[in-house]
Structure 1
Amino acid sequence: MTNKTDAGVVAAVDLGATSGRVMLGYVGHNDLRLRPVARFSNGPIRLNENGQPTLHWNMVELYRSVLAGLAVAVGEEPHLRSIGVDSWAVDYALLRRGRMQQLPYHYRDTRTLPAVDATHAVAGPAELYRANGLQFLPFNTLYQLTADLTAGSLDLVDSFLLVPDLVNYWLTGTAVAERSNASTTGLLNVRTREWDAPLIERLGFDVRMFPRLIDAGTRIGALLPEVAGEIRSRGALSVTAVGSHDTASAVVAVPAQGDDFAYISCGTWGLVGVELDSPVLSEAGRAQNFTNEGGVDGRVRYLHNVMGLWLLSESIRAWEHAGESIVLADLLRAAEAVTTPVSVFDADDPRFLAPGDMPRRIREYCVEHDLPVPHSHAALVRSILESLADAFARGIAQASLLSGKTVNVVHIVGGGSQNRLLCQLTANRSGLPVLAGPVEATAIGNVLVQARSEGMLTGPLEELRALVARSVVVEHYSPARTLVRQ
């Protein structure tokens, strides 16, 4: 049992690819509660660069929202103990003398496509996998940096910071890189967990750009006086490094009661995998595009990225753009009522990555692959959820086979855990029981790492997860007895 050494309140800043939130976390012996104090939207903005549209993150506005949320948190809990920040992976800001040079690019921007070939001309995919253990995604940080190098954007740059590290820098004035997110760059050595200086230099980057690495649970520093004044903090308030890649924090909060589990951190993306003590660097793993990303306490998140509920949210966005009024709950009920077979498509097809008319792209995929074309909204949504469940089930089976780890239960955490149809379909297609929840797994994992760093909890991840299991309600889904694969 997790021992009580203290009790208190911390603040989790959780920045997702579509929204952000600030949550208060109350932690003590057998006590784990979250309370949201601020939620705000986050999304790309389009800019014109030399006549070409580009996608960026409005980090200045996002940071303003973070400060506003922290001000509410401090106002409600003046004795706040700590702040922790997590976000999506791979994206970063370029700095010179501590000043951000431009708004960070959004990972869905297409500028990295030519950079992939340029990178592989220096270090091929197999060599990169042996070095970094990272799955191929065309927007991985090393490809983005190659695009910057080619464009001359690195000429006057002396440092770069990933998104959560940038927020921490603006809060504290201390520039560091937390390892779980650094592991998604493709420039961290998978064995040593240090920056891979030889690879960095071969690719043409200045190794001096790369900040000092720290582990989750490390105290980064106190708030800058001007920041403390802006959020009206009455005492010394520190910022603690958490699993700054949101999936790393989410995996901390999986309410597992053994080690025979797979997890799906499901939101915009679906991250499907298992937790290991050491990386798997087999050629078979590379061929299946499995990644070895860093987790809290030196664990390895061995997983595969699936496109996730992005497919559904972009479809809804397209319908609303056409003037329709969409109610998600009604849409899901209609999808659940579909009894005729629907097409199962490859949710990982690259055509689904960029923003745009997702229903049209799905229909085009079906035409090209001689699959029935879903014409109604309900049929298309059912097709999306069946396809995601199929991708999840394949990911679970592959993770188990490639790693040699036995999987007897699947935990779905994050926003996707609320999608009852998706959870049931995942149980059906995987043939395994699914436990769904908590929804706010990322914020919970963020809070737990802070609480342990502050002496409010002790013990390894297993004890932190036991506290989660005692504190949250999960939904159980049993696999259907029969399943007709479509």
Structure 2
Amino acid sequence: MSTLYFVAFDLGATSGRSILGALTADGKLTTKELTRFPNQMMPLNGHLHWNIYSLFEELKRGLREVARLGIAPTSIGIDTWGVDYVCLAADGSIIGLPYTYRDSQTIGASDRFFNKVISATQLYGSTGIQHLDFNTVFQLNEHRNDFSHLNAAKFVFLPDALAYMLTGNIVTEYTIASTGALIDAYKQDLDNRILEKLGLDTSRFGKLVMPGLVVGNLKAEIAEETGLETVPVVAVAGHDTASAVAAIPALDRNFAYLSSGTWSLMGIETDAPVINETTERHNITNEGGVEGTIRLLKNITGMWIVEQCLKQWKSEGKDYSYPEMVALAQCSKAVCTLDPDVPDFVAPANMVAAIDEYCRATEQAVPATHGEYIRSVFESLARKYAKTLDVFRGLSEYPIERLHVIGGGSRNAFLNQLTADACGIPVIAGPAEATALGNIMIQAIASGSVKNLTEMRKVIADNIETETYYPKNKQS
């Protein structure tokens, strides 16, 4: 078997990238970043939208780069952040621009849903999904009377919408749909009872498919425009965290994971939903994973707070590189403890001012330097991770012996050490590009070159380097 090439498009809420994966017959896996581009929320008429057309152009740019290299890829896969969706008219055209999950309309959306539609316990009991104001189910309820929604023949999640634009075929991929509280956690299918409460039915969505299914081939006109053949487009684990978790280089089940980036997502992998009073009280979610697994996890606001501080300081004339930011934290002290998940930090106009106000409201010292802001956020995150991990210890069937940190945050050695100290177990950092690796290797499963999730993880473990951080002085 010759080398197989896979194109992974990994789109995050702030940036996107196209990555080429190469898998040889003897199991050697290499990746190459082809393009990288910003993904910014687009203010329009008082709301925040995603520019789906700009993202589509970036996908085509990535494909042109593959063609320029003279490579004939085996397939293409797309993953994105969760919950957001595109409205399609009956003729297949896109109606308007999709709202972002940080649009102001989502604030308080869950309470409005529970007051008028069904109770929080009923929704959680069926879907097992944590209640976040921006969940798809709440967005659909908020936008019932919008022009785009009133005229929508189909609602298509972001990765599926981009796959549709490439192939002309509409599907609803399981992992991305599960994030929005539209899936019956036990049946692993669209929840008709929930849809009926929204005035919808399954006909308004594409056929539900599991990761690894071929959606269709690249349209002839796009193949011609990009210089490629009509390559298959695979429905990978469309939710970026699902692809990332699939790429954890673990050879047993005695672990918890932390997908660290703009969001931090901590959890464990289970074979069935865990829906009970404890998981509901802690707002723990049961999201779909690869091969029928459940990603039992908790969303924690992660590097978003620091990212927004850096953005604010840049606007004021001070631009820090990533290493400079970490060095500032190391040389500073934490002067306050934040709860990263309070509404104050969801989408403030000025994150620095939001931190100041939070500190005053909680009668804590206000950071005096940029380093103190960053250090305070880092230590607050580590403490939050430790408290959350304690909850999962009580839910896991297996002993949690280590914490795998994946995603961009795995490169932050200082935060990883703080996390190991707070959690009291080794932290294994890497891969940083877990999402893209998961995307690539699910395509490899679809091609038949890799058998299953277990073999996929072994290939990744054999080919990537990790760094282990052992706990030193455990934090209280």
Q: TM-score, normalised by structure 1?
A: 0.95
Give 2:446's aligned residue.
453
* Cα gap change, 1:79 to 1:24, in 2 (>3 Å): same
Q: Deviations over 1:207-246 (max 9, x none)?
A: 321211001011111111111111111x331001100100
Equivalent pairs, count = 473
In angstroms, what is the RMSD of aligned CA positions? 1.4
**Cα contact 1:13–1:21 (8 A) shared by 2:** yes
Shift of 1:409: 0.5
Give 1:281's aligned residue.
275
Structure 1 distance, partners of 2:149, 2:406, is 38
Shift of 1:369: 1.2
Structure 2 distance, partners of 1:413, 1:484, is 22
Structure 1 distance, partners of 2:349, 2:196, is 37
Give 1:27's aligned residue.
23
Shift of 1:394: 1.7
- For structure 1, list consecutive stretches of 5 or more residues without a partner in the other structure: none
Give 1:419's aligned residue.
412
- The one-letter amino acid of 1:478's match is Y
Structure 2 distance, partners of 1:77, 1:423, is 40
Give 2:367's aligned residue.
374
Give 1:409's aligned residue.
402
Give 2:194's aligned residue.
199
Give 1:483's aligned residue.
474
**Cα contact 1:6–1:455 (8 A) shared by 2:** no
Structure 2 distance, partners of 1:10, 1:375, is 48
Farther off after superposition, 445-454 or 385-394: 385-394
Give 2:103's aligned residue.
109
Shift of 1:114: 4.9
Structure 2 distance, partners of 1:118, 1:346, is 24
Matches within 5 A, 1:236-315: 236-315=230-309
Matched, 1:18 2:10: no
Q: Which runs of 4+ in 1 moved over 6 A?
A: none
Structure 2 distance, partners of 1:80, 1:367, is 55
Structure 2 distance, partners of 1:220, 1:30, is 26
**Cα contact 1:94–1:101 (8 A) shared by 2:** yes
Match of 2:56 among 35, 59, 63: 63
Shift of 1:76: 1.4
* Cα gap change, 1:341 to 1:64, in 2 (>3 Å): closer
Match of 1:474 among 466, 469, 472: 466
Structure 1 distance, partners of 2:327, 2:319, is 16
Structure 2 distance, partners of 1:329, 1:244, is 31
Give 2:178's aligned residue.
183
Q: Deviations over 1:123-173 (max 9, x none)?
A: 111000001000010000011111110445422211010000000000111
Task: Please give the secondary structure, in 2, of the residue aligned with 1:99.
Answer: coil
Task: Please give the secondary structure, in 1, of the residue aligned with 2:143.
Answer: helix
Relative contact order (C-alpha < 8 Å, sep 6+): which is higher? 1
**Cα contact 1:6–1:456 (8 A) shared by 2:** no
Task: Please give the secondary structure, in 2, of the residue aligned with 1:60.
Answer: helix
Q: Give the fraction of aligned pairs with identical amino acids, expressed as a percent.
A: 38
Give 2:35's aligned residue.
38
Shift of 1:6: 5.9
Give 1:215's aligned residue.
210
Structure 1 distance, partners of 2:367, 2:389, is 27
Task: Please give the secondary structure, in 2, of the residue aligned with 1:361.
Answer: helix
Task: Please give the secondary structure, in 2, of the residue aligned with 1:177.
Answer: strand
Farther off after superposition, 465-474 or 354-363: 354-363
Matched, 1:85 2:111: no
Structure 2 distance, partners of 1:354, 1:335, is 23
Task: Please give the secondary structure, in 2, of the residue aligned with 1:220.
Answer: strand
- The one-letter amino acid of 2:119's match is G
**Cα contact 1:414–1:437 (8 A) shared by 2:** yes
Structure 1 distance, partners of 2:454, 2:386, is 25
- For structure 2, list consecutive stretches of 5 or more residues without a partner in the other structure: none
Shift of 1:355: 4.5
Shift of 1:364: 1.3
Give 1:129's aligned residue.
124
Shift of 1:483: 3.5
Shift of 1:40: 0.8
Structure 2 distance, partners of 1:74, 1:392, is 43
